[in-house]
Amino acid sequence: MRYLTIALAKGRLAKQTLSLLEQTGITCEEMKDKDTRKLIFINEDLKLKFFLSKTSDVPTYVEYGAADLGVVGSDTIMEEGRKVLEVLDLGLGRCDMCVAGPASAKELLRKNEVIRVASKYPMIAKDYFYNKKHQTVEIIKLNGSVELAPIVGLSEVIVDIVETGSTLKANGLEVLEKICPLSARVIVNEASMKLQRERIMEIVKSLKNTL
Ligand code: PRP
């Protein structure tokens, strides 16, 4: 039996996913060692391999088959646009992708003005403004602390994740439009789904049962 490889996004989501997997009887003791510098972990009995990667790289590993399965947020799946099969919504990390800004920007959105939109998610922002709203905007890619952009005058609005809304509130910003809800999903490589369907679906089904 060949190994099935599972890619997890480094951080809180990986920890939550591992605890879900543990409830299904899939454990990986090696991964619990906090001081380890190892990147890949093996459960020899179940013939499973796990690795942790940067969140945005999870869909890439899965598209190319370097991982058979992956667990990552739907924001990353949308932004990366990789060819993968989305098979299960784990419901973890629920939040929303939103257009946010100062209340004064509402009018600019309403009038379809050419505005600047800052985001860590340029593809999602582009799809929303160009394909859904048919509004011409200039998209500026940032790498974090996106809420700064409208405050310092880099952009009129931002496209970003809103979970509790406290970051927006603390910076005098608000949700202006909701783009879509987000949560963690299980993704599968297309060829693996054909060749290892039974084993993959067994994992997916047991994860589903724990939800
Ligand atoms: C995310 C997101 C918002 C914040 C939303 O940022 O980009 O800034 O969390 O959470 P809230 O609605 O509960 O305040 P993250 O902490 O990932 O850091 P970043 O700004 O560097 O991307």
Average pLDDT over residues 126-139: 96
Q: Please, which pLDDT band fits residue 66 given cuts at 50, 70 and 90?
A: very high
Look up the pTM and report it: 0.93
Phi and psi at residue 44, to the nearest 5°: -65, -40
182 CA to middle of ligand 1, Å? Answer: 13
- For position 158, what pLDDT does the model report? 98
Q: Above 80 in pLDDT, residue 55?
A: yes
Terminal CA-CA length for the chain: 28
Cβ neighbours of residue 211 under 8 Å, at least 6 residues apart?
20, 90, 91
- For position 113, what pLDDT does the model report? 86
- Is the CB of residue 167 below 6 angstroms from any atom belonging to ligand 1? yes
18 CA to middle of ligand 1, Å? Answer: 23
- For position 4, what pLDDT does the model report? 97
| Percent of the chain residues topping a pLDDT of 90 | 88
145 CA to middle of ligand 1, Å? Answer: 7
Q: Above 90 in pLDDT, residue 112?
A: no
Rounded-to-integer distance, Cα 50 and Cα 124, Å: 29
- Is the CB of residue 166 below 6 angstroms from any atom belonging to ligand 1? yes
* Beta carbons of 42 and 55 less than 8 angstroms apart: no
